[in-house]
Amino acid sequence: MRIVLFCENKYAIDILKPLQDEAEDEGVNDILWYVHKKRIPDFPLKDSVNWTNSIQEVYDFFPDVVFVPGNIVPYYLRGVKIQIFHGYAAEKKDHWIIRRYFDTYFTQGPYFTRKFKQLSYKYKDFEVLETGWTRQDWISDHRSSFDIEKNELLQKYGKKQIVLYAPTFSPKLTSLPLIKDALIKLTKEKDVLLMMKFHPLTSQEWIDEYRQLANEHDNMIFVEDFSVTKYLLMADVMISDTSSTIYEFLLLNKPVITLRAISKDIYWKNIDDPEELCDAFEQVQHDKEIISLRHWVIQNYDPYSAGGVAQRMLEGARDYIRRHGVPKKRKLNLWRKYTSIKTFGKVRR
């Protein structure tokens, strides 16, 4: 099976890497990463995987399957086009938009499976398979890998807990303009070390401002790594707004506080006023109702914390090919074809 891992944005690297690892473990060597040149100018895995930033090379690779964490993939590529998602943020409108680029959707858990199956009955041109989300594989393997580093940090700074602030990048949704003073107050009143990890697409203006904030306070750290997963594992409490990382943290059975989240259904502690942050910090760790909601998320959003997700995805791809063969391309209307070509360009056939 010839596999393309379609990496359009930097955050997709962590999502696709478990598939690379599992495929190699299964003896699959025909793996090619497509890496978007402008959005990922410095690919962290460039020395360890087979990759290209040329769509023409991807086309010539003649793949059997294309795994995509994003919303769009060139329709003219050969292979089963599989949507594997870039998070759990079901409240974002584009999460449920069917753009007709995919042959099958590999869902994270029962909540998503039910809804996408309903959509599949409507559109009748894609399948749905529940597999879990690939980052669960890495988390399963590394759940305790950073305990020593965490304890060393807490000892170094003389604190009892680590709080992770991980906001979204969207100008309309981010808490960055509102929460700065509340974060300072939290670190003064509570016995915590604040780690700040921003989305790769966050405006440089905000990155510079909060990096400076961390430099001015001894109990704050601004994290420069491209991946947030390590810090999700290290933190005890998370502060955010409307970000898919909220669900990743809840799935670790850890408490979350958000500021003005737009989510229709709230399974954590949401506040409207930044001044409420310190009180919310105490409440969210002990409130039985909030803990119960968190357990519901674990059961419904992604119950596959034991791992094995990439293995299920690879087998799901093989099963699709056994039943349907390898699609030569995806049939689309003219607008979707135009969008695909505008985004990724044409190829010589």
**Could you say which architecture CATH assigns to the domain 3-133+303-344?**
3-Layer(aba) Sandwich (3.40)
Amino acid at 336: R
pLDDT for position 28:
94
Report the pLDDT value the prediction gives residue 264, as an integer from 0 to 100.
Answer: 81
Q: Which CATH superfamily is domain 145-301 in?
A: Glycogen Phosphorylase B; (3.40.50.2000)
Question: What pLDDT, in 10s, does the model give residues 120-136?
Answer: 999 999 999 999 999 99
What percentage of the chain exceeds 70 in pLDDT? 99
What letter represents residue 312's amino acid? R
Of residues 98 and 5, which shows the higher confidence score?
5
In this prediction, residues 151-158 reach a mean pLDDT of 96
Q: Note the pLDDT tens digit of each residue in 261-298.
A: 988 889 999 999 999 999 999 999 999 999 999 999 99
Predicted confidence at residue 310, as pLDDT, reads: 98
Query: Would you list the domain boundaries of the chain?
Result: 3-133+303-344, 145-301
DSSP 130: E
Which of the two residues, 222 and 243, has the higher pLDDT score? 222
Read off the pLDDT band of 102 (50, 70, 90). Answer: very high
Residue 92 has pLDDT above 80, yes or no: no
- Give per-residue pLDDT as tens, 174-216: 999 999 999 999 999 999 999 999 988 899 999 999 999 999 9
15 SS3 class: helix
* Residue pLDDT, tens place only, 209-218: 999 999 999 9
The pLDDT score that the predictor gives to residue 263 is 83
CA distance 344 to 173: 28
Per-residue pLDDT at 32 exceeds 90: yes
Within 190-228, where are the H helices? 204-216
Chain segment 327-336, per-residue pLDDT in tens: 998 989 999 9
3-133+303-344 and 145-301: same fold? yes
CB count within 10 Å of CB 239 equals: 29
Backbone angles phi, psi at 271, to 5 degrees: -120, 150
